[in-house]
Amino acid sequence: MDSRLSVSGTILYLAILGFVFLSESNEIYTQPNKVRDYLSKHRVKRNNSESTLSFIKDLMEIVEDFSILAEPSSSTNDSTEEYIGSDEYYEDLQKHAGLGTIFSKTKPIVPYKMPDEVFSDYWFDEQPTTPQPESMPTKRGRAHVMRDTCQEIGDYELVTNAMNQYMAVVAVHPNTWVYTTRCSTVNTPCRGLTRFGINSACKQKKGWALAYVKSVEDDQPVGEYDWQWIAIDRACSCGISF
């Protein structure tokens, strides 16, 4: 396992390094072959695991497909305008949305995965084949498995307007679904703390999601679409007071 982690970590480091190097020269979207060349020149000399090779393959496919979304050059013809808004456009755009963001004309039915779950599919593909027990063995007996202190409800939500990282209202690209997580009931006591005499309450917390947005002036979208971070309901956290 240690050798796999070492190889996987090295490959991921080189991939990120390649992305940073090319993005600084503003070539990553239009010249995906340079990413492949860069990674091949820095190939790890050890044997790569099957999951790591799968990750690199997916990475290359993403980079190649992402070139479709690059800003059109001066030689772009009218076919670009026909492409924007087409079914093919939404299919391509969906591949490059941020985690928890999906472009779809209907509500997504695919399950949402947290970032650590996404990467664990590549690095740790050995999953337990037997059901997990309702309790875990301890030295003094058996303890119940850990549970959330605040009950949450998560689902995909259609977003039309949002607040970006600059605290400005932006218009979100049509048919953008973002996975949100909210408290089942706000300000209810956190589970398991009342018996200890601790005052607690479940609070709604915001997080950030990557979205394709336009600026808003006089309540109307203006300018070109751009990738920005928008604030969404992301978690239900426990707040305590003594």
Task: Please report the pLDDT score of residue 171 as a whole number.
Answer: 96
DSSP for 27-96 reads -TTT-THHHHHHHHHT--SSPPPHHHHHHHHHHHHHHHHHGGGSPP-TT--THHHHHTTSHHHHHHHHTT
Q: Choose among 147, 151, 152: nearest CA to 135.
A: 147
Judge whether 15 and 36 are in contact, CB under 8 Å: no
Task: Please report the pLDDT score of residue 159 as a whole number.
Answer: 94
Q: Choose among 147, 156, 158, 148: nearest CA to 112.
A: 156
- Sequence ranges of the domains in the chain: 2-123, 148-241
C-alpha 104/C-alpha 90 separation (Å) is 7
C-alpha 201/C-alpha 144 separation (Å) is 23
CATH topology (fold) of 148-241: Cystine Knot Cytokines, subunit B (2.10.90)
CB count within 10 Å of CB 76 equals 12
How confident is the chain (242 residues) per 10-residue block, as mean pLDDT? 50 51 40 48 45 55 43 44 60 59 81 52 47 55 67 92 94 92 91 81 91 92 90 91 76
The residue to which tokens 């605290």 are assigned: 167
pTM of the full structure: 0.50
